[in-house]
Amino acid sequence: MDQPLNQEIELTTRARTNMTGTYRAGMLALGNAGLEFITRAVQAKNFTWLPWAQIQYVWIETFFGGRLTRGFQVTTVDGDRWEFNVAHAQTVLAYMARHLSSRQILQDGRTWRPTKTAE
């Protein structure tokens, strides 16, 4: 695990995740092979790698009738769940839609449709 997951990074954004019961801030990178979450703890660097093939589905957290998206939850085929709050969530989801099928991205139990701002 000395090498990064992605060979090409398509998008990076600030993010927070609930990794160990407390939220940690870091950077979320989306690339050709999957998601990488990198946080710099005081003691050591922490990495989370989620390959696209291991993502079962993404559940989107929306407010105000779907007009505001703050974050999403990624569920892997192993049953692990990762909750992310990100800046510019619609843009992040649009990049994720390039690698995941439309059935894997869910909003309120329905298939997600990108807004015009996410294009």
Distance CA 35, CA 12 (A): 10
Fold of 9-118: PH-domain like (2.30.29)
Domain range summary for the chain, segments of one domain joined by +: 9-118
Burial 39-60 (b: 16+ CB within 10 A, else e): beeeeeeeebbbebeebebbbb
Q: Across the chain, where does the E strand assignment appear?
A: 9-18, 23-31, 34-40, 45-51, 55-63, 68-76, 81-86, 105-107, 110-111
Each residue's pLDDT expressed in tens, for the chain with a length of 119 residues: 567 788 899 999 999 987 667 778 889 999 999 999 988 765 556 778 899 999 999 998 887 777 778 889 999 999 988 899 998 888 999 999 999 998 898 876 555 555 554 44
